[in-house]
Structure formats: C-alpha cells, structure tokens
A and B are shown apart, each in its own frame.
Chain A
Amino acid sequence: MAMSVYLYFLLLFISVLSFVLSYFFTIALEGVLRKEGKTVPDVHKREKPMVPRPGGPAIFISLLIPALILFLLNGDRRILGVLILASIGFLIGLYDDFKRLGGREKVLLLTLPGIALVLSGIYFPKPILPFIGVTRLTIIYPVLLILASTIIANGVNMIDIFNGLVSSVMMISTIPILLASIMRNDSTLAFLSVIFLCSLAGFLLRHRYPSKIFPGDSGAMLMGLFYLGLVVEGRMEVIGIVALLPVILNGFLILSTIGGFIEHSNIAKRPISVILRKEGEPLLISSKEEGAPITLTRLIVSREGLTERDVVLNIVLLSIFSSILAIATVFIGELA
C-alpha cells in the first residue's frame, strides 16, 4: 500500500514537473528566439506571421530533468537508453535548425543515435510479437534498430508541417505505449510515457493553431527518437509501428515520389498550394504539377480544398484510428 502511494505521488510529481517545465520553458524560449531574430514565416496563414523556431530545447529540458529524477530514484538503465537516443537526435536536429543539413547527410547522421544505443548495449533484442510471443533477434535487431533510428526521426520530421500537428500525433501515438506498459506492469516505461505525454501537452499549448512557436528539426527529431526509445526499451516494436502508420505512410509517400532523400525545403515541386480567399482562412489544395510529392495532406485535399485546421483535424483522426489499431495489437500480443 505504501509503495503504491509512493508511486502515485511520484507519477503526479513528474507529470506536473514535465508539463510545467515544457510550458514555461517554451514561453521563455519564444522571447529569446524573437529577440535573436530566429523566426520563420508561417506560410499557411494569410499574413504569413513570423514564428519563433526551434522550440526543441524547451521540450528537451522538460524530458531530461524528470527522466533523470526517475533514473536517480529507480536506477533503471533503460531510462539512459531512451535518453541516449533522444539526446543525440536532439543535437543533430539543433545543428540542422541553425546550419541546415542536406537530405542525405541528415539520413546518415540520424543513424548515429541508433549506433550509440547499440554500442551502449542498453536494448533487448527480444521483441514481443503478435501470435508469436517473445522472440530472440540478436543478429538482425541491431541493424533494424539503426535503420529505425533514421526512419522514425525523419518520418516524424516530415509530418511537422502544420500548426500543432507533430505534437498532437506523437501524443496520440504514445497512448498505446502507455497502456501496454501498464498492462505489463512496467512502471519505468509507464512513467517515461507519462513524462513524454505531459511534456508534449505543455508544448502543444503554444504549438497548437495559431502557433506561437515551431518545434523545428530539433523538436521533431527529439520527439521521434524519444518515442523510438520507449518502443525499443519497452519491447513494443510492433505496437509502435502500428501507432505510427500514418507517419510511416507520409514518409514513404514522399521518399518514393521524389526518388530519394532530399531536404524538404529543397523539393522544387510542392505537394500542395495555398489559395487565398476574400474571406476566411486560406485553403490548401492538391498540386496539379506532375512529379510533385504525394503526401498524406495531398491525398486528403485531393478532391476539395481544406483549411489548415481541417487538414490537421483529419490527420489527427487518422492518428487516433491507428492508435486504436495499436491498442488492439496490444491485446493480440498479450494473447500470445
């Protein structure tokens, strides 16, 4: 009984801490970035307001401090595994925010978090698969982990295109991970999932439409790799893939259309066009150009133009749907 009261108190403490740190550091960072002139235009708005970027450092601090407190309290090395992935991803993203990396460089550099985790040895090559149960993939797992590091980080970065989208999608995708952690009595993973959820919730309050700040590559890559850390350390690989199906679809849609890894700002033909109306918000419509990337947004607006808010709502609904499928996968996995 005493233990569970302690756990409840700890859960409450780290939830509030990550939320408060995220929210207030984000507000503070907005001021600093504006002062330093680190702003970019919000291209889907009529007035194209300048928005501070990157908000990644605020998310990073709000994840790092509660996660380290948790590590000091329970000494679970898996927390360090998650932090290795997330920290290296964040640093690569931060460099990209200020110096701009090429598409191929980014893809190659983002294998580094995976390589670091493999070298640290803080992973378990024994994923729990639906129908099969616990498997042992000692040889192939490290290779898949390195590939997943770059695929997930880039995939999440590619979905960071509208106000509040990436933080909402990542929050929704974390819910099946939290649920599976609770079902498996894995308190460390449950705590880390809650830290991630609360940190993203704090950030989302400033990132939601109309955005006061953008996460930037540092924020998006951090989110992607923290999520990958949860999935790997929790041995929830399949659940993680299913929850991220729309993100994977969007990433491969772009890659297969443009035929390789190109920095998204360097793609000549845009997948969508912004139409300014006399009244109301601008409409996003599908590009008529041949060879323009086929993105999730382009598919959604292929028949009729939608406002940015409506597109975000539709992608969030897709994310909720894939998370429901991921929750169903949790139950199928438990049956094995």
Chain B
Amino acid sequence: MVRETFEIMGLLLIAWIMLLFFFFVMNIAVYLTEELPPFTRGVSRGALGVLLLIIWLFLYLVLRNVYAKTKGIKPPKLFIG
C-alpha cells in the first residue's frame, strides 16, 4: 500500500464528513421550515438540498485538485480547477 492511497483515504474521509455536515445543515433547515405552507416548504427544502449537493460536489473536486497539485499534476483549466 503506497502513501498516496492513505492520502486519498484522507480525501474520501473529508468528503464523507462534508456530506454528513450538509445533511446536518439540511436537518436544521427542515426544522426551520416546518411552519411554512406546504408548497413553499417543499420548494425551499428541495432547492436547498440540490444546492448543498452541488456545493458538496464542487468542494470534493476542489479538494482533489489541490491534492493533484501537491503531486505535481496540473489540474484542469475549468471552472472547477
């Protein structure tokens, strides 16, 4: 087992913690929107959920780009780079 595998495990662990943190935030949002009318409640929860999922994916990709840089690999020239 090479060092890089341990490092990528660390990356996966951070991604997992971030994912759980977003569900925790979502749980708070569910609690706070309890009193809203059904339609507004559904739309706001759905929008926030999708937004959090996109943010998670974005951060996951930024994280691995930073990691790739430390390995001397030039990350892609895209918005996520």
Cα-based distance from A318 to B20 in the complex (angstroms): 19
Q: Which residues of chain A are within 8 angstroms of B36 by Cβ–Cβ distance?
A: none
8 Å CB interface, B19-72 against A = 19-20, 23-24, 26-27, 30, 42, 46, 49-50, 57, 60-61, 64, 67-68, 71-72
B45 (CB) vs chain A CBs: closest residue: A135
CB–CB A246/B23 < 8 A? no
Cα-based distance from A325 to B24 in the complex (angstroms): 17
Q: Which residues of chain A are within 8 angstroms of B74 by Cβ–Cβ distance?
A: 290-291
B29 (CB) vs chain A CBs: closest residue: A132
- Partner of A317 from the list B5, B19, B50 (CB cut-off 8 Å) is B5
CB–CB A314/B12 < 8 A? no
0/1 string, A255-275, CB within 8 A of B gives 1: 011110000000000000000
CB–CB B5/A294 < 8 A? no
Count A-B contacts at CB 8 Å: 106
Closest CB-CB distance, A75 to chain B, in whole Å? 33
Instruction: Give the size category of A's interface with B.
Output: 35 or more
Q: Which residues of chain B are within 8 angstroms of A313 by Cβ–Cβ distance?
A: 1
CB–CB A256/B78 < 8 A? yes
B67 (CB) vs chain A CBs: closest residue: A299
Question: Contacts A137-B46, A245-B16, A300-B2; is A129 near B76 (CB within 8 Å)?
Answer: no
Q: Which residues of chain B are within 8 angstroms of A299 by Cβ–Cβ distance?
A: 4, 8, 64, 67-68, 71, 73
Q: Which residues of chain B are within 8 angstroms of A306 by Cβ–Cβ distance?
A: 2
- Partner of A256 from the list B5, B19, B80 (CB cut-off 8 Å) is B80
Question: Contacts A139-B42, A256-B78; is A304 near B16 (CB within 8 Å)?
Answer: no
Residues of B that sit less than 8 Å from A by CB: 1-5, 8-9, 11-13, 15-16, 19-20, 23-24, 26-27, 30, 42, 46, 49-50, 57, 60-61, 64, 67-68, 71-76, 78, 80-81
Beyond A299-B64, A325-B13, 6 additional pairs, beta carbon < 8 A: A245-B15, A258-B76, A298-B73, A300-B4, A318-B8, A322-B12
